[in-house]
Amino acid sequence: MNDTIKNMRPWQRREREEQIRAIALAQLTAPREGFDPFVYIDELELLSPARRRTVENLEATIMLCLGARLRPTRTKQLLGFLREKREENGELAQFTEFDAFLKEAIGSDVLVAHDFAPSVFASMDHDAIWNDLRGTVARLSDLGPGVFLNSGTLLGVTRDKALIAHDDDIDLAFVMKAQDAAGAAREWIELRGKLISMGLFSKEHYNPKNVAILKATSAGDYMVDLFPAWVEDGRVYVYPHTCGELDVAQVLPTRPCAVTGLPVPAEPEAMLAINYGAGWQVSDPYYKFPWAKAKRKFAAFLDAVERENKQA
């Protein structure tokens, strides 16, 4: 297949992408047994590599993945790429129309969160979640200097005055006593042991390839992600978004959230601007956090966490 595609002229590539898009559309709207989406997904990757993919290529790949419930994270990323391309071309209305079509096709207002057909906060009892979370925060607060609502959860209570409707997990930052990256890494691995002994550690959702994020148990159909935080030379570090950009007074001491009463940073808006950028006040279900950049910023901490984890 590789040689055939290499010898294709540009117009032949575009024609083939349009053909596969028609196949993907038919499979999404009228599924047939025995259909192998990977044959076409692999071909589409060869026809238009990486970020140079055409609109037809992106839409075809997205429909194939949605129809077969494949690669949720990648599908969400491709939806973001498609929106960017449509916006660049002055065709944002076409993306909105495609997005609406997909939601109707799969029968859900949320295409993909951390998985396909997720149980999202729009369908959950928020009061029950906050009540459960108060107990979790209280138990965590006994283990360190502080805990506060973080990332998507902080964004929701600040911008929407509620949990984000299309989100499906709770984010908390755990402030450690450590005063540098090496000490924070050591304390972070020790924290995992404490969570296990307390019955708070969730083995079901824990990713051993990403030990810089811990999973805590919850009383509902959602995850609780714990992110490490520490203060170094008067500056605040919260993996993976805030790397010394905020002064300690902008974060600590925390203050009660007006919506939940749970702790939030002293200046939540300042942290959200760093985490999500200047446009954080506008909802974006296809926002993708720049993980590669974050891992470079926190390289010293991540390397130390890996070393500590191997020795644990």
Final residue of a structural domain among 106, 136, 164 = 106
pLDDT greater than 90 at residue 194: yes
Final residue of a structural domain among 106, 140, 157 = 106
Number of domains in the chain: 2
Helices (H) and strands (E) in the chain, counts: 12, 8
Q: What is the pLDDT of residues 97-140, one digit of tens each?
A: 999 999 899 887 777 766 665 678 988 999 999 999 999 999 99
DSSP 120-182: -GGGS-HHHHHHHHHHHHHHHHTTSSEEEE-HHHHHIIIIISS--TT--EEEEEEE-S-SSHH
More confident residue, 180 or 207: 180
pLDDT greater than 70 at residue 266: yes
* pTM of the shown model: 0.81
Provide the token pair at 230: 């520490």
pLDDT greater than 90 at residue 209: no
Same domain, yes or no: 41 and 68: yes
Same domain, yes or no: 163 and 282: yes
- We report the CATH number of the domain holding residue 183 as 3.30.460.10
Same domain, yes or no: 167 and 25: no
Average confidence score pLDDT of the chain: 93
Question: Looking at the DSSP assignment, which residues form a beta bridge with residue 230?
Answer: 237
In contact, 169 and 114? CB cutoff 8 Å: yes
Domain boundaries, position 68:
2-106
Residue 152 in domain: yes
pLDDT of residue 83: 94
More confident residue, 312 or 167: 167
At 237, is the pLDDT very low, low, confident or very high (cuts 50, 70, 90)?
very high
Same domain, yes or no: 75 and 100: yes
pLDDT of residue 46: 92
Same domain, yes or no: 265 and 154: yes
Residue 115 in domain: no
Same domain, yes or no: 131 and 74: no
Q: How far, in Å, CA of 174 to CA of 230, rounded?
A: 8
At 257, is the pLDDT very low, low, confident or very high (cuts 50, 70, 90)?
very high
Residue 46 in domain: yes
Final residue of a structural domain among 54, 74, 106 = 106
Same domain, yes or no: 67 and 125: no
